[in-house]
Chains A and B, each alone.
Chain A
Amino acid sequence: MAIDKPYLDVPGTTIFDAEQSRKGYWLNQFCTSLMKADNRARFKANERGYLDAWPMSEEQKLAVMSRDLNRCIALGGNIYFLARIGATDGKSFQQMAGSMTGMSEDEYRAMMLAGGRSVEGNRYLGEDGDAQPQHQPQGAAGKKGA
Protein backbone atom coordinates (compact mmCIF):
# COMPACT_ATOMS: atom_id res chain seq x y z
CA MET A 1 0.00 0.00 0.00
CA ALA A 2 1.30 3.43 -0.93
CA ILE A 3 2.18 5.98 1.74
CA ASP A 4 -0.58 8.53 2.29
CA LYS A 5 0.49 11.99 1.11
CA PRO A 6 -2.36 14.29 2.10
CA TYR A 7 -0.23 17.37 1.32
CA LEU A 8 -0.15 17.04 -2.46
CA ASP A 9 -3.25 19.21 -2.93
CA VAL A 10 -1.88 22.31 -1.17
CA PRO A 11 -1.34 24.96 -3.88
CA GLY A 12 2.07 26.53 -4.42
CA THR A 13 3.66 24.20 -1.88
CA THR A 14 6.12 21.32 -2.11
CA ILE A 15 6.54 19.22 1.00
CA PHE A 16 10.13 18.04 1.40
CA ASP A 17 9.48 14.37 2.01
CA ALA A 18 11.64 11.28 1.56
CA GLU A 19 11.03 11.24 -2.19
CA GLN A 20 12.04 14.89 -2.67
CA SER A 21 14.99 14.38 -0.37
CA ARG A 22 16.23 11.47 -2.46
CA LYS A 23 15.91 13.47 -5.68
CA GLY A 24 17.65 16.47 -4.17
CA TYR A 25 20.41 14.82 -2.16
CA TRP A 26 23.39 16.19 -4.12
CA LEU A 27 21.75 19.54 -4.82
CA ASN A 28 21.20 20.04 -1.10
CA GLN A 29 24.64 18.78 -0.15
CA PHE A 30 26.19 21.20 -2.66
CA CYS A 31 24.27 23.95 -0.84
CA THR A 32 25.64 22.70 2.49
CA SER A 33 29.17 23.13 1.15
CA LEU A 34 28.50 26.89 0.91
CA MET A 35 28.54 27.14 4.70
CA LYS A 36 32.33 27.48 4.42
CA ALA A 37 33.64 30.93 3.44
CA ASP A 38 36.34 29.41 1.18
CA ASN A 39 33.76 27.43 -0.73
CA ARG A 40 31.52 30.47 -1.12
CA ALA A 41 34.45 32.33 -2.67
CA ARG A 42 35.31 29.43 -5.00
CA PHE A 43 31.68 29.09 -6.08
CA LYS A 44 31.37 32.82 -6.80
CA ALA A 45 34.59 32.80 -8.82
CA ASN A 46 33.45 29.97 -11.10
CA GLU A 47 29.90 28.72 -10.56
CA ARG A 48 29.85 26.22 -13.40
CA GLY A 49 33.21 24.74 -12.46
CA TYR A 50 32.21 24.45 -8.82
CA LEU A 51 28.88 22.79 -9.68
CA ASP A 52 30.56 20.35 -12.06
CA ALA A 53 32.41 18.86 -9.11
CA TRP A 54 29.05 17.62 -7.75
CA PRO A 55 27.07 14.66 -9.15
CA MET A 56 24.00 16.85 -9.72
CA SER A 57 21.75 16.67 -12.78
CA GLU A 58 22.25 19.25 -15.53
CA GLU A 59 18.76 20.56 -14.76
CA GLN A 60 19.72 21.10 -11.13
CA LYS A 61 22.91 22.95 -12.10
CA LEU A 62 21.03 25.23 -14.51
CA ALA A 63 18.36 25.93 -11.89
CA VAL A 64 21.07 26.95 -9.41
CA MET A 65 22.88 29.18 -11.92
CA SER A 66 19.63 30.94 -12.86
CA ARG A 67 18.68 31.23 -9.15
CA ASP A 68 15.28 29.74 -9.99
CA LEU A 69 14.34 28.59 -6.50
CA ASN A 70 10.96 27.17 -7.56
CA ARG A 71 12.77 24.99 -10.07
CA CYS A 72 15.37 24.00 -7.47
CA ILE A 73 12.56 22.92 -5.14
CA ALA A 74 10.82 20.94 -7.89
CA LEU A 75 14.14 19.13 -8.44
CA GLY A 76 14.44 18.12 -4.79
CA GLY A 77 15.88 21.23 -3.17
CA ASN A 78 14.82 22.29 0.30
CA ILE A 79 14.57 25.95 1.23
CA TYR A 80 16.81 25.68 4.29
CA PHE A 81 19.56 24.23 2.10
CA LEU A 82 18.88 26.59 -0.81
CA ALA A 83 19.19 29.47 1.64
CA ARG A 84 22.98 28.91 1.52
CA ILE A 85 22.93 30.09 -2.11
CA GLY A 86 20.98 33.16 -1.07
CA ALA A 87 23.41 33.84 1.75
CA THR A 88 26.30 33.53 -0.71
CA ASP A 89 24.56 36.15 -2.87
CA GLY A 90 23.90 38.37 0.15
CA LYS A 91 20.13 37.81 -0.04
CA SER A 92 17.79 37.70 2.94
CA PHE A 93 15.17 35.02 3.52
CA GLN A 94 12.54 37.57 2.59
CA GLN A 95 14.19 38.22 -0.77
CA MET A 96 14.50 34.48 -1.40
CA ALA A 97 10.92 33.65 -0.42
CA GLY A 98 9.57 36.60 -2.38
CA SER A 99 11.46 35.53 -5.51
CA MET A 100 9.32 32.39 -5.68
CA THR A 101 6.07 34.34 -5.95
CA GLY A 102 6.99 36.38 -9.03
CA MET A 103 6.41 39.57 -7.05
CA SER A 104 9.02 42.29 -6.89
CA GLU A 105 10.82 42.73 -3.57
CA ASP A 106 8.74 45.83 -2.83
CA GLU A 107 5.49 44.08 -3.66
CA TYR A 108 6.31 41.09 -1.47
CA ARG A 109 7.46 43.27 1.42
CA ALA A 110 4.26 45.31 1.16
CA MET A 111 2.18 42.12 1.25
CA MET A 112 3.94 41.03 4.44
CA LEU A 113 3.53 44.45 6.07
CA ALA A 114 -0.18 44.29 5.25
CA GLY A 115 -0.48 41.05 7.24
CA GLY A 116 0.90 38.48 4.82
CA ARG A 117 -0.76 36.23 2.28
CA SER A 118 -4.29 35.18 3.18
CA VAL A 119 -5.06 31.51 3.55
CA GLU A 120 -8.47 32.09 1.95
CA GLY A 121 -8.58 30.41 -1.44
CA ASN A 122 -5.12 28.96 -0.82
CA ARG A 123 -5.91 25.84 1.20
CA TYR A 124 -6.68 23.44 -1.67
CA LEU A 125 -5.78 23.25 -5.34
CA GLY A 126 -8.78 24.28 -7.39
CA GLU A 127 -9.71 27.29 -5.26
CA ASP A 128 -9.13 30.82 -6.50
CA GLY A 129 -6.51 32.33 -4.14
CA ASP A 130 -3.41 34.20 -5.25
CA ALA A 131 -1.08 31.20 -4.72
CA GLN A 132 -3.02 29.02 -7.18
CA PRO A 133 -1.27 27.94 -10.40
CA GLN A 134 -3.66 29.95 -12.60
CA HIS A 135 -2.52 33.17 -10.89
CA GLN A 136 1.25 32.89 -11.45
CA PRO A 137 3.37 34.91 -11.56
CA GLN A 138 1.96 37.25 -8.96
CA GLY A 139 2.25 41.03 -8.75
CA ALA A 140 2.90 43.36 -11.65
CA ALA A 141 4.81 40.59 -13.45
CA GLY A 142 1.55 38.67 -13.85
CA LYS A 143 -0.32 41.62 -15.28
CA LYS A 144 2.02 42.27 -18.22
CA GLY A 145 0.31 41.49 -21.49
CA ALA A 146 -2.95 40.75 -19.72
Chain B
Amino acid sequence: MARITASAYTSHIPAIGAALDLGKTQEPYWKVVFDGYEFSKQWLAEHKPDVIFLVYNDHATAFNLDLIPTFAIGTAAEFQPADEGWGPRPVPKVIGHPELAGHIAQSVIQQDFDLTIVNRMEVDHGLTVPLSLMCGQPAAWPCPVIPFAVNVVQYPVPSGARCFALGQAIRKAVESFDAPLNVQIWGTGGMSHQLQGPRAGLINAKWDNAFLDRLIADPRGLSQVPHIEYVREAGSEGIELVMWLIARGAMADVAGGPAPKVVHRFYHVPASNTAVGHLILEDAG
Protein backbone atom coordinates (compact mmCIF):
# COMPACT_ATOMS: atom_id res chain seq x y z
CA MET B 1 0.00 0.00 0.00
CA ALA B 2 1.00 3.63 -0.37
CA ARG B 3 1.98 5.62 2.69
CA ILE B 4 2.61 9.19 3.77
CA THR B 5 6.15 9.46 5.08
CA ALA B 6 6.63 13.17 5.71
CA SER B 7 5.05 16.58 5.49
CA ALA B 8 6.64 19.88 4.56
CA TYR B 9 5.29 23.38 5.07
CA THR B 10 6.42 26.54 3.38
CA SER B 11 5.42 30.00 2.28
CA HIS B 12 4.99 30.39 -1.48
CA ILE B 13 5.78 34.09 -1.99
CA PRO B 14 5.93 34.98 -5.72
CA ALA B 15 8.90 37.32 -5.25
CA ILE B 16 10.96 34.31 -4.12
CA GLY B 17 10.29 32.66 -7.46
CA ALA B 18 11.20 35.86 -9.27
CA ALA B 19 14.43 36.19 -7.26
CA LEU B 20 15.40 32.65 -8.22
CA ASP B 21 14.42 33.03 -11.87
CA LEU B 22 16.35 36.33 -12.15
CA GLY B 23 19.49 34.94 -10.50
CA LYS B 24 19.29 37.04 -7.33
CA THR B 25 19.73 34.22 -4.81
CA GLN B 26 23.13 35.51 -3.67
CA GLU B 27 21.95 39.05 -3.00
CA PRO B 28 21.96 39.59 0.78
CA TYR B 29 18.20 40.28 0.90
CA TRP B 30 17.41 36.91 -0.69
CA LYS B 31 20.39 34.81 0.41
CA VAL B 32 19.08 34.55 3.96
CA VAL B 33 15.79 33.19 2.58
CA PHE B 34 17.39 30.62 0.29
CA ASP B 35 19.88 29.61 2.99
CA GLY B 36 16.90 28.57 5.11
CA TYR B 37 16.09 25.95 2.46
CA GLU B 38 19.60 24.54 1.90
CA PHE B 39 18.91 21.79 4.43
CA SER B 40 15.57 21.10 2.79
CA LYS B 41 17.01 20.60 -0.68
CA GLN B 42 19.50 18.11 0.72
CA TRP B 43 16.78 16.40 2.77
CA LEU B 44 14.46 16.09 -0.24
CA ALA B 45 17.27 14.64 -2.36
CA GLU B 46 17.90 12.03 0.34
CA HIS B 47 14.21 11.33 0.99
CA LYS B 48 12.92 11.49 -2.56
CA PRO B 49 9.23 10.58 -2.57
CA ASP B 50 7.40 8.84 -5.39
CA VAL B 51 4.67 11.48 -5.33
CA ILE B 52 4.18 14.88 -3.70
CA PHE B 53 0.61 15.82 -2.75
CA LEU B 54 0.92 19.60 -2.84
CA VAL B 55 -1.69 21.71 -1.07
CA TYR B 56 -1.68 25.31 -2.29
CA ASN B 57 -4.01 28.03 -3.34
CA ASP B 58 -4.61 29.30 -6.80
CA HIS B 59 -4.26 33.09 -6.95
CA ALA B 60 -7.02 33.94 -9.41
CA THR B 61 -5.06 32.09 -12.09
CA ALA B 62 -6.75 28.81 -13.02
CA PHE B 63 -9.89 29.85 -11.15
CA ASN B 64 -11.16 33.38 -11.72
CA LEU B 65 -14.56 34.56 -10.46
CA ASP B 66 -16.36 32.33 -12.96
CA LEU B 67 -15.62 29.26 -10.85
CA ILE B 68 -14.48 29.12 -7.21
CA PRO B 69 -14.05 25.55 -5.94
CA THR B 70 -13.31 25.26 -2.23
CA PHE B 71 -11.21 22.11 -2.70
CA ALA B 72 -9.94 21.09 -6.16
CA ILE B 73 -7.76 18.07 -6.94
CA GLY B 74 -5.69 17.98 -10.11
CA THR B 75 -6.08 14.60 -11.78
CA ALA B 76 -4.39 15.44 -15.09
CA ALA B 77 -1.22 13.86 -16.50
CA GLU B 78 0.54 17.23 -16.56
CA PHE B 79 0.11 20.87 -15.60
CA GLN B 80 1.78 23.84 -17.29
CA PRO B 81 3.13 26.83 -15.32
CA ALA B 82 0.74 29.76 -15.86
CA ASP B 83 1.36 33.26 -17.18
CA GLU B 84 0.34 35.31 -14.15
CA GLY B 85 0.92 38.59 -15.93
CA TRP B 86 4.72 38.67 -15.90
CA GLY B 87 4.99 35.74 -18.35
CA PRO B 88 5.17 32.06 -17.26
CA ARG B 89 7.94 31.17 -14.79
CA PRO B 90 10.82 29.36 -16.55
CA VAL B 91 10.31 26.17 -14.57
CA PRO B 92 9.61 22.58 -15.66
CA LYS B 93 6.07 21.49 -16.35
CA VAL B 94 4.49 19.59 -13.50
CA ILE B 95 3.90 15.90 -14.10
CA GLY B 96 0.81 14.62 -12.32
CA HIS B 97 -0.12 11.21 -10.99
CA PRO B 98 -3.58 10.58 -12.43
CA GLU B 99 -3.97 7.10 -10.92
CA LEU B 100 -3.28 8.13 -7.32
CA ALA B 101 -5.09 11.45 -7.74
CA GLY B 102 -8.18 9.72 -9.09
CA HIS B 103 -8.04 7.20 -6.27
CA ILE B 104 -7.75 9.94 -3.64
CA ALA B 105 -10.63 11.85 -5.22
CA GLN B 106 -12.86 8.79 -5.09
CA SER B 107 -11.90 7.89 -1.54
CA VAL B 108 -12.08 11.41 -0.11
CA ILE B 109 -15.45 12.16 -1.72
CA GLN B 110 -16.76 8.92 -0.21
CA GLN B 111 -15.53 10.25 3.13
CA ASP B 112 -17.92 13.20 2.59
CA PHE B 113 -15.53 15.86 1.31
CA ASP B 114 -16.98 17.31 -1.88
CA LEU B 115 -13.88 17.79 -4.02
CA THR B 116 -13.89 19.38 -7.44
CA ILE B 117 -12.03 17.22 -9.94
CA VAL B 118 -9.84 19.14 -12.38
CA ASN B 119 -8.56 17.45 -15.51
CA ARG B 120 -7.13 20.58 -17.08
CA MET B 121 -5.55 23.54 -15.35
CA GLU B 122 -2.42 25.65 -15.24
CA VAL B 123 -0.55 26.05 -11.97
CA ASP B 124 0.70 29.31 -10.52
CA HIS B 125 3.38 30.42 -8.07
CA GLY B 126 1.44 28.88 -5.19
CA LEU B 127 2.52 25.49 -6.49
CA THR B 128 5.77 26.23 -8.33
CA VAL B 129 7.52 28.37 -5.68
CA PRO B 130 7.47 25.59 -3.05
CA LEU B 131 8.90 23.20 -5.64
CA SER B 132 11.63 25.73 -6.46
CA LEU B 133 12.48 26.25 -2.79
CA MET B 134 12.70 22.53 -2.09
CA CYS B 135 14.31 21.43 -5.38
CA GLY B 136 16.26 24.40 -6.72
CA GLN B 137 16.38 24.71 -10.50
CA PRO B 138 16.34 21.17 -11.95
CA ALA B 139 15.58 20.39 -15.61
CA ALA B 140 12.62 18.33 -14.38
CA TRP B 141 10.87 18.14 -10.98
CA PRO B 142 12.07 15.06 -9.06
CA CYS B 143 8.74 13.24 -9.00
CA PRO B 144 5.07 13.50 -9.96
CA VAL B 145 3.01 16.09 -8.10
CA ILE B 146 -0.72 16.09 -7.34
CA PRO B 147 -1.91 19.70 -7.16
CA PHE B 148 -4.57 20.30 -4.53
CA ALA B 149 -5.98 23.82 -4.69
CA VAL B 150 -7.87 25.40 -1.78
CA ASN B 151 -9.95 28.55 -2.13
CA VAL B 152 -8.48 31.19 0.14
CA VAL B 153 -9.25 34.11 -2.20
CA GLN B 154 -12.98 34.63 -1.69
CA TYR B 155 -14.19 34.55 1.90
CA PRO B 156 -15.22 32.30 3.55
CA VAL B 157 -12.33 29.92 3.09
CA PRO B 158 -12.68 26.45 4.63
CA SER B 159 -12.20 26.39 8.40
CA GLY B 160 -9.07 25.11 10.07
CA ALA B 161 -11.09 22.25 11.52
CA ARG B 162 -12.40 21.27 8.08
CA CYS B 163 -8.88 21.36 6.64
CA PHE B 164 -7.52 19.27 9.50
CA ALA B 165 -10.25 16.66 9.02
CA LEU B 166 -9.60 16.63 5.27
CA GLY B 167 -5.95 15.82 5.92
CA GLN B 168 -7.04 12.79 7.89
CA ALA B 169 -9.26 11.67 5.01
CA ILE B 170 -6.38 12.09 2.56
CA ARG B 171 -4.18 9.88 4.73
CA LYS B 172 -6.83 7.13 4.69
CA ALA B 173 -7.15 7.50 0.94
CA VAL B 174 -3.40 7.19 0.37
CA GLU B 175 -3.18 4.15 2.62
CA SER B 176 -5.86 2.38 0.61
CA PHE B 177 -3.98 2.77 -2.69
CA ASP B 178 -2.72 -0.59 -3.81
CA ALA B 179 0.86 0.24 -4.81
CA PRO B 180 3.94 0.74 -2.61
CA LEU B 181 4.28 4.50 -3.10
CA ASN B 182 6.17 6.85 -0.80
CA VAL B 183 4.02 10.00 -0.64
CA GLN B 184 4.85 13.36 0.90
CA ILE B 185 2.21 15.95 1.63
CA TRP B 186 3.11 19.61 1.54
CA GLY B 187 1.10 22.51 2.95
CA THR B 188 1.93 25.94 1.59
CA GLY B 189 1.10 29.64 1.93
CA GLY B 190 1.49 32.22 4.68
CA MET B 191 2.84 33.10 7.09
CA SER B 192 1.61 36.46 8.35
CA HIS B 193 1.03 38.94 5.55
CA GLN B 194 -1.47 41.44 4.27
CA LEU B 195 -1.31 42.66 0.69
CA GLN B 196 -4.16 45.17 0.71
CA GLY B 197 -5.35 48.40 2.21
CA PRO B 198 -3.68 50.78 4.67
CA ARG B 199 -2.87 47.78 6.87
CA ALA B 200 -0.67 46.22 4.13
CA GLY B 201 2.68 44.99 5.39
CA LEU B 202 1.39 43.54 8.64
CA ILE B 203 3.73 40.95 10.16
CA ASN B 204 3.20 39.14 13.45
CA ALA B 205 6.30 37.08 14.26
CA LYS B 206 5.07 36.18 17.73
CA TRP B 207 1.80 34.78 16.40
CA ASP B 208 3.57 32.98 13.53
CA ASN B 209 6.00 31.24 15.87
CA ALA B 210 3.19 30.24 18.21
CA PHE B 211 1.43 28.80 15.13
CA LEU B 212 4.53 26.75 14.29
CA ASP B 213 4.78 25.51 17.89
CA ARG B 214 1.16 24.43 17.93
CA LEU B 215 1.29 22.93 14.45
CA ILE B 216 3.99 20.62 15.75
CA ALA B 217 2.62 19.82 19.21
CA ASP B 218 -1.10 20.64 19.24
CA PRO B 219 -2.49 20.60 15.72
CA ARG B 220 -5.95 19.58 16.86
CA GLY B 221 -6.19 22.56 19.18
CA LEU B 222 -4.76 24.83 16.49
CA SER B 223 -7.41 23.64 14.05
CA GLN B 224 -10.07 25.23 16.29
CA VAL B 225 -8.72 28.76 15.75
CA PRO B 226 -11.44 30.77 13.93
CA HIS B 227 -10.87 32.69 10.68
CA ILE B 228 -11.15 36.05 12.36
CA GLU B 229 -8.08 35.39 14.48
CA TYR B 230 -5.98 34.71 11.37
CA VAL B 231 -7.25 37.94 9.79
CA ARG B 232 -6.77 40.10 12.87
CA GLU B 233 -3.44 38.67 14.01
CA ALA B 234 -1.74 37.46 10.82
CA GLY B 235 -3.25 39.73 8.15
CA SER B 236 -5.97 39.20 5.61
CA GLU B 237 -3.74 36.98 3.47
CA GLY B 238 -2.32 35.17 6.51
CA ILE B 239 -5.48 33.09 6.35
CA GLU B 240 -3.63 30.94 3.78
CA LEU B 241 -2.19 29.14 6.81
CA VAL B 242 -5.33 27.01 7.13
CA MET B 243 -3.84 24.99 4.27
CA TRP B 244 -0.99 23.85 6.51
CA LEU B 245 -3.57 22.02 8.62
CA ILE B 246 -4.47 19.76 5.68
CA ALA B 247 -0.90 18.48 5.52
CA ARG B 248 -0.65 18.24 9.30
CA GLY B 249 -3.91 16.27 9.53
CA ALA B 250 -2.40 13.61 7.27
CA MET B 251 0.38 12.73 9.72
CA ALA B 252 0.41 9.45 11.67
CA ASP B 253 -0.01 10.88 15.17
CA VAL B 254 -3.40 12.32 14.28
CA ALA B 255 -4.52 8.75 13.46
CA GLY B 256 -3.20 7.45 16.79
CA GLY B 257 0.43 6.85 15.81
CA PRO B 258 3.63 8.28 17.24
CA ALA B 259 4.45 12.00 17.13
CA PRO B 260 6.35 13.15 14.04
CA LYS B 261 10.00 14.13 14.15
CA VAL B 262 10.79 17.80 13.52
CA VAL B 263 13.73 17.69 11.14
CA HIS B 264 13.82 21.36 10.08
CA ARG B 265 12.32 24.67 11.12
CA PHE B 266 13.00 28.10 9.62
CA TYR B 267 11.46 31.54 10.02
CA HIS B 268 12.48 34.84 8.45
CA VAL B 269 11.05 38.33 7.96
CA PRO B 270 10.68 39.69 5.33
CA ALA B 271 10.41 38.36 1.82
CA SER B 272 8.63 41.11 -0.05
CA ASN B 273 5.47 41.69 2.07
CA THR B 274 5.55 38.41 3.90
CA ALA B 275 6.92 36.37 6.78
CA VAL B 276 8.61 33.19 5.52
CA GLY B 277 7.87 30.08 7.54
CA HIS B 278 9.08 26.55 6.85
CA LEU B 279 8.88 23.22 8.62
CA ILE B 280 9.62 19.59 7.77
CA LEU B 281 8.06 16.77 9.80
CA GLU B 282 8.90 13.10 9.30
CA ASP B 283 6.54 10.35 10.32
CA ALA B 284 8.29 8.24 12.91
CA GLY B 285 6.59 4.98 11.92
Contact = CB atoms under 8 A, between A and B. Distances in A.
Interface string A69-109: 11001000011110110111000111011101110000010
Nearest to A73: B196
B202 A117 contact: yes
A142 to B, nearest CB: 10
Interface residues of A, number: 63
A115 B87 CA distance: 30
B200 A101 contact: yes
Interface string B194-233: 1111111111110100000000000000000001100111
A22 B85 CA distance: 24
A86 B59 CA distance: 14
B154 A17 contact: yes
Contacts of A100: 196-198, 200
A18 B154 contact: yes
A100 B153 CA distance: 19
A88 B86 CA distance: 7
A17 B203 contact: no
A138 interface: yes
A49 interface: no
Interface of A: 6-7, 10-18, 21, 24-25, 28-29, 31-32, 34-37, 40, 69-70, 73, 78-81, 83-84, 86-88, 92-94, 96-98, 100-102, 108, 111-113, 115-119, 122-124, 131-133, 135-138
10 contacts: A6-B228, A7-B227, A17-B154, A29-B65, A93-B15, A94-B273, A96-B195, A116-B192, A118-B202, A138-B198
- Which 6 residue pairs are nearest across A and B when measured between Cβ atoms? A116-B203, A87-B85, A12-B199, A12-B198, A131-B199, A97-B200
